[in-house]
Amino acid sequence: MPTPIVLVHGLRVGGASLHRIAQAITDRPVLTPDLPGHGTRSTETFSMGAAVAAVRDAVESLGGHAVVAGMSLGGYVAMATAARHPAVVDGVVAMGATAQPSRLLAAPFQAFGVATSVLPRQAAWVSMGLTRLAVGRRVATDMEAGGLALHSIRDVVDELAAFDALDAVSRYRGPVEFLNGGWDQFRIHEARFVAAADARLQILPRATHLFPLIQPVRTAEAITAFARRCDVAAQRQSTT
């Protein structure tokens, strides 16, 4: 049986934003759950523990084991899930998630989170306008599917600032692949993450932080190739 995949979305967007990636993975079941504070769960408060539980629930609904692939925030949630529940995670693909969280790195995002809480409507207009300028209407429409969770930015950033991603990924003994855009600002601790996880690293030249949404077919191909390697490893274990 092909290993199922749970795709985990990034900050502000919901699981629906990943629909083109999910549709391009054709050889196995795929789920794109919403994290707390996002999409259909927008009224909930985000915490890393609740996010891990959401992913764990998705894995359970797929039969109790899966590859977990996440972009940005989703990459960190994938690492946290693997560290806390290694028996149900067959492998991790973390995309745009190789900056070790810290209070210093969180500061600009916290400032934006404050602005969204003070002027939520204006912040939403600015966010949507800048996104459309940066990535075009089609990708922006994907990002807006299910609504933009600007109100959750402060909660997410506060949780991430206290999250030791390097420790989490180092404690997981399964296969890990980091998939980064060549122009992604979240590559700053890339070498440390690769060493901590003894992981594979794949760089997409001239790609930005949002490459999974901009290049969904290419992203789906990379995730599928990783999942197929997990299939082979699982088959070998079952015959030994």
- pLDDT tens-digit series, residues 181-221: 999 999 999 999 999 999 999 999 999 999 999 999 999 99
Pick the closest to residue 45 from 57, 58, 54, 33 (CA basis): 54
Residue 119 banded pLDDT, cuts 50, 70, 90: very low
Torsion of CA 36, 55, 6, 110, to 10 degrees: 40
**Coil, strand or helix at 176:** strand
Q: Look up residue 186 and give its DSSP letter.
A: G
Using the predicted structure, report yes or no on whether residue 100 has a pLDDT greater than 50. Answer: yes
User: Which amino acid is it at 232?
Assistant: V
What length is written for the chain? Answer: 240
pLDDT digit string, tens, across residues 50-76: 999 999 999 999 999 999 999 999 999
User: Which amino acid is it at 92?
Assistant: V
- The DSSP element (H or E) to which 43 belongs, if any, is none
Q: Are 175 and 92 in contact (CB under 8 A)?
A: yes
pLDDT at 234: 77
